[in-house]
Structure 1
Amino acid sequence: MSTQVPSALLDLLGIDVPIVQAPMAGVSSPAMAAAVSTSGGLGSLGVGAMNASKAREAIHEFRRLSGGPLNVNVFVHRPAHADKQKASAWLARLQPEFDRWNAKAPQELHEIYTSFLVDNDMLAMLVEEKPRAVSFHFGVPHPHQIQALHDAGIVLLASATNQDEAKLIEAAGIDAVVAQGYEAGGHRGVFDPDIEDSQLGTFALTRLLVRAVNLPIIAAGGIMDGAGIASALSLGAQAAQLGTAFVATDESLADAGYRERLFSAAAHHTTMTRVISGRPARSLANDFTQWGSAVPNEAIPDYPIAYDVGKALHAAGKAADQSGYGAQWAGQGAPLARALSSAALMQALKEELVQAERSVC
């Protein structure tokens, strides 16, 4: 596919180039999303960690900076099951790590994020604000939520890590599938984190989903440059989603420790872990992932309850000038990261994509 001939998906999303910036909660910013959309791609905001009021503020800030299309991502995980005994045991297990930095662990843990499945305020806000797209991670929302968003003229996207999930997305009436390969940084989009993960790579998954469902496919995972985008398009994807590529941009909310580790040997050793948040997620290798390598999954509280203490431990480490306990999400393409402005990165991606397409003509 040539970037000069927009696909049906590009038309649907109102973008000129097949580049979607991943909605990285805690990393993506309105300024990043605005730069991507102004450059012809689809900018995204991850609001799964926000309430409706804060999400609205972020959308308004984006619109102050850009008139381009915006994707807003929400989490549709099953609400956490509170298990006080498990939470207490988890706090006790982590206490020595807090002791290392002369910090106090929380006395109890809380469900710090609300799933979109039960967040009526977020639904009402999105219907009112009408971003170009809303995307879902960890599953699909209720039928009435899908209907309300569609009635507002919003394009809907959802992540899938295998064919069964993609078929559920199609059956739910969602407009496009984000094929999230095992290489991808951040949280796995698996619908059920407690069943066996097929661990399909991005390119195999993309080809499988192109054949399995009659929806546009957005390839995601390990894609860092124009050559990677071109490869995804050649396999049948209509766009590519990039997340780790934007972590080191000027507009990223990643802190100094995160950025430093991204450009260290840790980038060559990303690992899938549940200990930080309670759900499997790919992170740069750090102190927390090393500590958690021997911890059984059954010991970890549900997402996002586990994330409550994970964030507290990160804060304790930072106070002691230690950056090794953060949620430093990154995909397997992390060594290819570039420190640029988001606009400069978009320009480089577009030029590399054109060059890659020409090389196969």
Structure 2
Amino acid sequence: MSLLDRLSVSLPILQAPMAGVSTPEMAAAVSNAGALGGIAVGATDATGPAAMITAVRALTPRPFNVNVFVHTTPVADPAREDDWLGVLAPLFAGFGAEPPARLKTIYQSFNDDAAMQALLVETAPPVVSFHFGLPGADVIAALKASGCVLLATATSLAEARAVEAAGIDAVVAQGWEAGGHRGVFDPDAADDRLGTMALTRLLVERTSLPVIAAGGIMDGRGVRAALDLGAVAAQLGTAFIACPESLADSFYREALASEAADHTVMTHAISGRPARCLANRFTAWGQANALPAPAYPIAYDAGKALNAAAKAHGDGGFGAQWAGQGAPLARSMPAAELVARLVREMAAGV
């Protein structure tokens, strides 16, 4: 049985579960349209996901995806964090604000969050996906025993083989073009920066897993191309940011609809992990600053505080405006309408 048949999903389209952007309303609209919607719960604790999962289920009887972050447990480095706050201080001062007195780990890795693990086993969402790595074998077994289909992101053949060995049901092949956080298991290791096309073909040929292509795919022709490469489906994130159901703020939407979408940057400055963002004042500062950021997500504590200070003064140039290289092709329409448009474009080949 194919992956889509297992999920009872009629369309080979996944809406990427984007933390801070995707919502239960978006996920339900996409799933009701025949694709697979998704929510991201990695940036919250176990109380948040329970409400989000309940909200999705109230809006759709269809399958949906719940995504968690499985990053390496961060190690605090007070000296490095103090240095980071020191170089950020002039930016805060520009908005009449002070940086945090100290930085904290703003959310746990799924590997360290027993309450989150228990919640997902108990609520058994139809699909659970992992980003930044893999949980332990006991957690994987418990989720599978609850009936969850499991997906995991890989950016290389080595990561995909680890996904395969862990018994995960399908792999999301995240190309270098993709927006948001790069799903590398080890952000300090060398990154071959494989593009979506090369990575998808490589994983189709060299693993036994169903492959979901992700990165730079914005329209039906892109979805069709992914299928032609041997993928069973395509995952689109940036394509859904401009939908009214998303949580993207007005600054983010305006940037995505402007010439700013022509330029994206892979940056560590905002969160402490590589992530592709629309070029803005924060990414420009990050490119000019040589000091290494604190560990993820400790650095993100400072990034979020700076963005809040800037927004309070009407400046949206310090936001985490994650977007892939296909950003100029973003379209603003309801999520279900976008899914229908993608289907028509796939059929027409245009």
- TM-score range for the pair, normalised by the shorter chain length: over 0.9
Matched, 1:220 2:214: yes
State the shift of 1:14 in Å: 1.8
The match for 2:139 among 120, 127, 145 is 145
State the shift of 1:295 in Å: 2.5
CA distance in 1, matches of 2:341, 2:183: 28
Per-residue CA deviations over 1:277-302 (Å, capped at 9, x if unaligned) read 00000000000000000233x62100
Runs of at least 5 residues in structure 1 that lack an aligned partner in the other structure: 1-6
CA distance in 2, matches of 1:299, 1:285: 19
The match for 1:314 among 292, 307, 328 is 307
Per-residue CA deviations over 1:82-112 (Å, capped at 9, x if unaligned) read 0000000000000000011111110000000
The match for 2:17 among 13, 16, 23 is 23
Task: State TM-score, norm by structure 1.
Answer: 0.96
Output aligned runs, 1:271-286, within 5 Å: 271-286=265-280
Corresponding residue of 1:3 = none
CA distance in 1, matches of 2:289, 2:61: 47
For 2:315, the aligned partner's letter is: Q
CA distance in 1, matches of 2:3, 2:173: 14
CA distance in 1, matches of 2:106, 2:47: 16
Task: State TM-score, norm by structure 2.
Answer: 0.99
For 1:196, the aligned partner's letter is: A
For 1:240, the aligned partner's letter is: A
CA distance in 2, matches of 1:162, 1:39: 31
For 1:311, the aligned partner's letter is: K
Corresponding residue of 1:162 = 156
The 3-state SS of whatever aligns with 2:185 is coil
The 3-state SS of whatever aligns with 1:282 is strand
Q: May I ask how many residue pairs the two structures share in their alignment?
A: 350
State the shift of 1:185 in Å: 0.2
State the shift of 1:121 in Å: 0.6
Output aligned runs, 1:254-265, within 5 Å: 254-265=248-259
For 1:348, the aligned partner's letter is: R
Corresponding residue of 1:337 = 330
The match for 1:56 among 50, 54, 70 is 50
Matched, 1:45 2:39: yes
Give every structure 1 segment of 4 or more consecutive aligned residues whose post-TM-superposition deviation is greater than 4 Å.
none
The 3-state SS of whatever aligns with 2:85 is helix
Per-residue CA deviations over 1:145-177 (Å, capped at 9, x if unaligned) read 101001101000000001000000000110000
Corresponding residue of 1:288 = 282
CA distance in 1, matches of 2:31, 2:122: 21
Cα RMSD after superposing both structures: 0.9
Corresponding residue of 2:105 = 111
Matched, 1:208 2:185: no
Identity, % of aligned positions = 58
The match for 1:70 among 41, 64, 70 is 64
For 1:337, the aligned partner's letter is: A
CA distance in 2, matches of 1:248, 1:70: 20
The 3-state SS of whatever aligns with 1:325 is coil
Per-residue CA deviations over 1:94-133 (Å, capped at 9, x if unaligned) read 0000011111110000000110001111111111111111
CA distance in 1, matches of 2:140, 2:338: 33
For 1:104, the aligned partner's letter is: E
Runs of at least 5 residues in structure 2 that lack an aligned partner in the other structure: none
Corresponding residue of 1:188 = 182
Corresponding residue of 2:344 = 351
CA distance in 1, matches of 2:288, 2:189: 19
Matched, 1:325 2:306: no
State the shift of 1:196 in Å: 1.2
Matched, 1:247 2:241: yes
State the shift of 1:70 in Å: 1.1
State the shift of 1:353 in Å: 1.1
CA distance in 1, matches of 2:89, 2:326: 34
State the shift of 1:355 in Å: 1.2
